[in-house]
Structure 1
Amino acid sequence: MKTYRYPSVLTIAGFDGSGGAGIQADMKTISALGCYATSVLTALPVQNTTGVRKIYPIPVEAVSDQIEAILDDVFPDAIKIGMVHTPELVETIVKTLGKYKKVPIVFDPVMVATSGHRLIEEETISTIVQQLFPVASVITPNMDEAAILAGMEVKTLDEMRTAGERIKTLGCNSILLKGGHQETQTITSLFLDQDHNFHAFHAEKFATQNTHGSGCTLSSAIASYIAQEKDLYSSVELAQNYVYEAIKHGRDVQTGKGNGPLNHFFNPQKLIKHELV
């Protein structure tokens, strides 16, 4: 009898009990795109669609133990890293992953929630830049996060380009600057690749409050397409299309009293099976 394996994606991220962001959004996305989802919890935010109320930390030893348990057993084809809110947590994740074979990493520098809440400690940023940026295949900041990283205002497309170039000098391999906060009718995101080339992705804006977890969804979608052995540019392009459609198909649904979730399962794929040789 033939045996098979699923393309596997590990998400290392925070919790969202309301189901729209964090590990919950990641696992929905990975599953909807036909991959097998595993997870490591980094923090326990108490939140709903209206915002974050409190964040309970997870001991760093518990994070390290979780990573080792997964990588010793269900080794991933790609890794998505989301909420890392302390320097010790960043160091622990990088050190633990460094014990294993290198895997493509998509890092979503979660610093500001959709609701506007700041989610990261100030001293964590330099540790992220020094230790996590160099090992990530791509980072996916939104405009608020790009402004923090670049140390400048980021409101326009030109400012996004300047910020991208500044962030690249911090040691990133490639950057997807998300343009979802633009006030123009057409939203433009910019992908700055490893060779310093910019690629623009355009999408028409439509009215909706249901964008909670869109950044988590995008980064885990990129990781899912990488796990399917697509190149980085194609993975970014396909992931952007997936998020656009997930927002579009969930725009007329009310879930909660604030920013509602995406419709991750607008077109779910069956689990992909690769034959083991």
Structure 2
Amino acid sequence: MSVAQALTIAGADNGGGAGIQADLKTFQELGVYGMTVITAIAAQNTTGVQGVFPISYAGIAQQLDSTGADFEPRAVKTGMLYNAEIIHLVATKWRQYGWSNLVIDPVMVAKGGAPLLQQEAVQALIQELLPHALITTPNIPEAELLTGMSISCLSEREEAAKQLVQMGTTYALIKGGHDAGSSMVVDVLYDGQAFHYLENRRVMTRHTHGTGCTYSAAITAELAKGSAVVDAVTTARAFIQAAIEDELGIGAGHGPTNHFAYQRRQRGER
């Protein structure tokens, strides 16, 4: 039996709600074998990030080479890449190993406001990695940083998605969670020709840590299983909606989402 494999290249979250840990939980829940390349270790909990400790360039390069020499990921996700040097390395290894189905989650700022991507790395992400991406999944603040435009309405989200596709990504998904003025969350998916809209009710909860990581990881898992992009995003949206609605209530701050929730619902459990 051939098992779908997916690789995540991201930072580690000791609290388990985001980054590598969230990605692996999501892969597992969706029936995909997960592999990791760790770029940095974040010391954090639900109240914030207390420190970020980058892995050495050599250490990241060796992880990528070890993966490329023996595994066959059918989809690859990037999360926190931290600096321009790491972005260049990932782009180089991507070409070297001929991987496909790149999902870019442009992790730039933690939920509590701590920066997770150095300023000079934004341009490197645009120039070196976006042209390889099958889909890029920014939230509204990340889309503003990538495009240089202000986004305050649906039409501006659509324009930002168009700009990202012009930068090289095949699909752009602008997530609407930061549009706090609406009772509904509308995510805009652009395929270069048409828009697709994914709409769900807004859940009033503080337990949203790792939503972006989990959402993009679910897309990656579905792509690894052979799903078309629109289908992968649709399943991933249902996965993260369930994870937010069925909250775990962990921690004093921005608690993690519930990675068990989607499959429990599929089985008729709550």
TM class, shorter-length: over 0.9
Aligned equivalent of 1:39, options 36, 61, 65: 36
Match of 1:273 in 2: none
For these two proteins, the number of residue pairs brought into alignment is: 263
1:162-177, aligned counterparts within 5 Å? 162-177=159-174
> Which one of the candidate residues 225, 228, 243 is aligned to 1:228?
225
CA contact (8 A) 2:73 2:99 kept: no
> Which sits farther off after the overlay, 206-215 or 155-164?
155-164
Maintained 8 Å contact 1:34/1:268: no
Q: How does 1:181-220 map to 2 (within 5 A)?
A: 181-183=178-180, 184-193=182-191, 195-220=192-217
Take 1:267 and 1:245, find their aligned partners in 2: how far apart are those partners?
A: 5
Give the equivalent residue in structure 2 for 1:115: 112
The letter of the residue matching 1:215 is G
Structure 2, unpaired ranges of 5+: 265-270
SS of the aligned residue for 2:21 comes to: helix
**SS at 2:167 equivalent:** coil
Q: Hey, what's the Cα distance between the residues in 2 that align with 1:133 and 1:98?
A: 13
Structure 2 residue identity aligned to 1:187:
V
Counterpart for residue 244 of structure 2: 247
Q: TM-score, normalised by structure 2?
A: 0.94
Shift in Å, 1:109: 0.3
Q: Does the 8 Å CA contact 2:88/2:124 hold for their aligned counterparts?
A: yes
Q: In the alignment, which residue of structure 2 is the partner of 1:274?
A: none
> Aligned residues: percent identity?
36
Give the deviation of 1:165 after TM superposition.
2.1
Distance in 1 (CA, whole Å) between partners of 2:112 and 2:218 is 22
In the alignment, the residues of structure 2 paired with residue 113 and residue 197 of structure 1 have an alpha-carbon distance, to the nearest angstrom, of 31
| Corresponding residue for residue 261 of structure 1 | 256
Return the match for 2:23 from 26, 42, 52. Answer: 26
Indicate the larger mover: 60-69 or 15-24: 60-69
3-state SS of paired residue (2:151): coil
- In structure 2, what is the equivalent of residue 10 of structure 1? 7
Residue 91 of structure 2 aligns to which amino acid in structure 1? Answer: V
CA contact (8 A) 1:14 1:43 kept: yes
The one of the two structures with greater contact order (alpha-carbon pairs below 8 A, sep at least 6) is 1
CA separation in 1, counterparts of 2:24 and 2:172? Answer: 23
Aligned to 2:90: 93
Structure 1 gap ranges (5+): 270-277
Point out 4+ residue stretches in structure 1 off by more than 4 angstroms: none
Amino acid at match of 1:68: D
Mean Cα displacement is larger for which, 82-91 or 153-162?
Answer: 153-162
Amino acid at match of 1:190: V
Q: 1:186 to 1:229 in 2, by over 3 A?
A: same
Q: Identify, as 1 or 2, the structure richer in helix.
A: 2
Once residues 124 and 130 of structure 1 are traced to their aligned partners in structure 2, the CA distance between those partners, rounded to angstroms, is 10
Deviation at residue 267 of structure 1 after TM alignment: 4.3
Q: CA RMSD in A?
A: 1.3
Task: Select 1:144's aligned residue among 141, 144, 158.
Answer: 141
Cα deviation code 1:3-60 (max 9, x no counterpart): x231111111001000000000000000011111111101112111111122111111
> Is residue 11–residue 82 contact of structure 1 (8 Å, CA) maintained in 2?
yes
Amino acid at match of 1:246: A
1:122 CA drift (Å): 0.9
SS of the aligned residue for 1:165 comes to: helix
**8 Å CA contact 1:78, 1:227 repeated in 2:** yes
Query: For residues 55-97 of structure 1, what are the alpha-carbon distances to aligned partners after superposition, in whole Å with 9 as ceiling and x for unaligned?
Result: 1111111111101112222211111111111110001111112
